[in-house]
Amino acid sequence: MGAGYPQTARADIDQALKDARESGHAVSLFWALAGSFFIVDSYCGNYTIANARVDELIALADEKDATFWRAFGMLGRGRLFALTGRASEAVQAISSGIAAWRSTGATWSLPSWISHLAAGHAELGQLDEAWRCIGEAMTTTETTKERWFEAEANRLAGEFSLKSPEQDAAKAQAYFDRALSVAREQQARSWELRAAMSMARLWRDQGRRDEARELLAPVYRWFTEGFDTHDLKEAKKLLDELVWPLSGDRD
């Protein structure tokens, strides 16, 4: 998904789910369900499908008394709350999920879960907590060396900088620059697209429309599939706005 092939990722996960169900192997199904809602559907904007996968995973975890997977399901549910505008429920679910996750001794994906918690706090206007969490996520990244979410964590930090009363644009740009650099180094096109959109919006608001368009357009043009996904639709909308700043300019 991060590599920038959402349609291919969805086809792969559908096949993985089919194979897992046919095998009757619970561990295979756990992984396939997790891959579906965590890696593919939530990032593509398929929230109804993602919710169904979370429900199925939690039910299976309860049936098998699988603490690790139950915690993963709690975290996934919190992530979906955050994506669908239910920030208060997201903070509660992710906080509980992280505690359950840590109780199993797991560290996998902690930077991403803590970043999602930070985003929930930011949506509630709890910026001190948001900064505390994003700082913890970055520290955890350095400790565990799990860097797949590093670009997105930096992008979120940039967004938090713009939510603060001071609206520190210079600080935001530094974080967006870091997000772009990491995404390009990792060839993580989906993260690069998100970082480019955040930077483009900042530059648009500063009157730097041409620079914003020149940054975002080539990233968007790289994609060859997945144009029905949330991020690519948002990128197209932003590019159209940068080309036609006022509806009257089209005439």
Q: How far apart are the first and last CA of the chain?
A: 39
Q: Distances in Å between the alpha carbon of 74 and those of 135, 151, 240?
A: 23, 24, 38
pLDDT computed for residue 47 by the predictor: 84
The full DSSP string for 131-188 is HHHHHHHHHHHHHH---TTHHHHHHHHHHHHHHSTT--HHHHHHHHHHHHHHHHHHT-
The pLDDT assigned to 228 comes to 84
- pLDDT at site 245: 55
pLDDT of 49 reads 87
| CA distances from residue 102 to 15, 30, 58, 157 in whole angstroms, order as listed | 31, 19, 17, 24
What domains lie within the chain, and their CATH numbers? 1-65 (no CATH), 84-144 (no CATH), 147-251 (1.25.40.10)
Q: What pLDDT is attached to residue 247?
A: 43
Segments in the chain below pLDDT 50: 1-2, 246-251
pLDDT of residue 248: 43
Compute CA distances 239 → 109, 132, 206, 218, 232, whole Å.
32, 33, 16, 11, 10
Predicted pLDDT at 249: 45
